[in-house]
Structure 1
Amino acid sequence: MRTSNQELIFFEIEEMAREHRQILKGFAHLAAVPEAEFAVAYGRLLDQIEADFRAEESIMEKICYPDLRNHLRDHANLLGILHKARLYRRGGHVLRRHGQRDDAADAGSSHDHD
């Protein structure tokens, strides 16, 4: 049994929607993560988002999505915001991927109050 292009496109769109729901659940999960584990959880979520965006972009290229260029720009803008948010201060430390602290940044900004 052959699968039509239309069926493949529908399947791919459903997969993208599932991935979007998983990302939203990941953000909801962050609200409940203990502060000591937040940087690691945020880094993992960001990794997941980047992987999902790459997969989505590949699918969109494959199906010749007409607004791909704008969608790529939207992904780039959102990822830029999310990477900047990683530097958000919690507990007096700059958050880095997977829980690494930037002690130099912390020492240089001891006058900052959270």
Structure 2
Amino acid sequence: MTRKTTPRRRTATPKATPVTPRTVLLAGLGAVVVTRREALRKLEAAAARVETLRESADAAAIEAGRQVARLRGQAEAIAERAQAEFEARFIKAKPAGRKPRRAVRPAAKRARKRA
């Protein structure tokens, strides 16, 4: 059995609207309304983005403050260890029982021989 094909329905082509001052005015008003609506949507979207950007900037600032505090603590710990090592090596390492050395005296001038 073969299928019978049904003829396709043709869609009616829209008739062109005649260009009159009235149609031009209505088209212009429609364009203004659509433009205004889109502009309002864009403004609302921009305002929402400003809020999200502000929130993300606040969160980034808080996180940066935390990292700075953590790094400051690490730096202070390193500085304390370095200070302790310096004191152990150079200040406290001097032997206490020894007398300090005397300053070196300049050599005495030789007496001239008389002839």
Return the TM-score normalized by structure 2.
0.28
Return the TM-score normalized by structure 1.
0.29
The structure richer in helix per residue is 1
Looking at both structures, which has the greater relative contact order when contacts are Cα pairs under 8 Å and sequence separation is at least 6? 1
